[in-house]
Amino acid sequence: MPTYRIAEAAQLLGVSDDTVRRWIDAGRLPAAHSAGRQVISGADLAAHAQALADGPDREATRADAVSARNRFDGLVTRVTKDRVMAQVELICGRYRVVSLMSAEAADELGLEPGVRAIASVKSTSVVVERL
């Protein structure tokens, strides 16, 4: 499972490093120490991102300035697959982006909660690329 430094987590969530540190200090976001630095597991970050997206009082973030026709750097929070198709959900800053793709493509990209990915949005298509 991937881990993320505070600055990386802040970028993915569209908040400041200080906000992530406050969440850690308040016990809202679990963190561990690795090589002398605080890190957050991808699964914990995905769960926190999902909770933020589901919350009624979401804060405005830097992601507000991103055009819908751009690429969104985000974190995979959920992958639901059957034999043929996969639904992949990402949290990109304060935005939740959902893509439908083949289950084979999701497997090839190694998409699972906690993995960083890019959602490329154009018209009604969402293309997910692994970072």
- Total domains present in the chain: 2
Task: Look up the domain containing 26 and give its range.
Answer: 3-57
What is the Cα–Cα distance from 108 to 55, expressed in whole angstroms?
Answer: 32
Cβ atoms of 38 and 5 closer than 8 Å:
yes
* Domain match, 75 and 122 both: yes
- Tell me: the pLDDT tens digits for 48-79? 988 888 776 554 444 444 444 577 889 999 99
* Domain match, 70 and 21 both: no
Strand, helix or coil for residue 10: helix
Residue with tokens 């600055």: 7
Q: At 116, which amino acid appears?
A: R
Residue 83 has pLDDT above 80, yes or no: yes
Q: At 78, which amino acid appears?
A: R
Q: Look up the CATH number of the domain holding residue 28.
A: 1.10.1660.10
The most confident of 31-35, 52-56, 90-94, 106-110, by mean pLDDT: 106-110
| More confident of the two residues 129 and 42 | 42
What is each CA distance from 109 to 10, 13, 25, 40, in whole angstroms?
24, 22, 34, 22
Rounded mean pLDDT of the chain?
86
Q: Look up the CATH number of the domain holding residue 111.
A: 2.40.50.100
Strand, helix or coil for residue 2: coil
Query: In the prediction, which pLDDT does 1 show?
Result: 78
Residue with tokens 């939740």: 96
* Domain match, 46 and 12 both: yes
* Domain match, 48 and 73 both: no
Pair of tokens at residue 64? 């507000």
* Domain match, 52 and 9 both: yes
* Domain match, 80 and 125 both: yes
- Tell me: the pLDDT tens digits for 12-25? 888 889 999 999 99
Closest of 1, 28, 26 to residue 13, by C-alpha: 28
* Domain match, 27 and 82 both: no
Residue 112 has pLDDT above 80, yes or no: yes
The pLDDT > 70 percentage for the chain reads 86
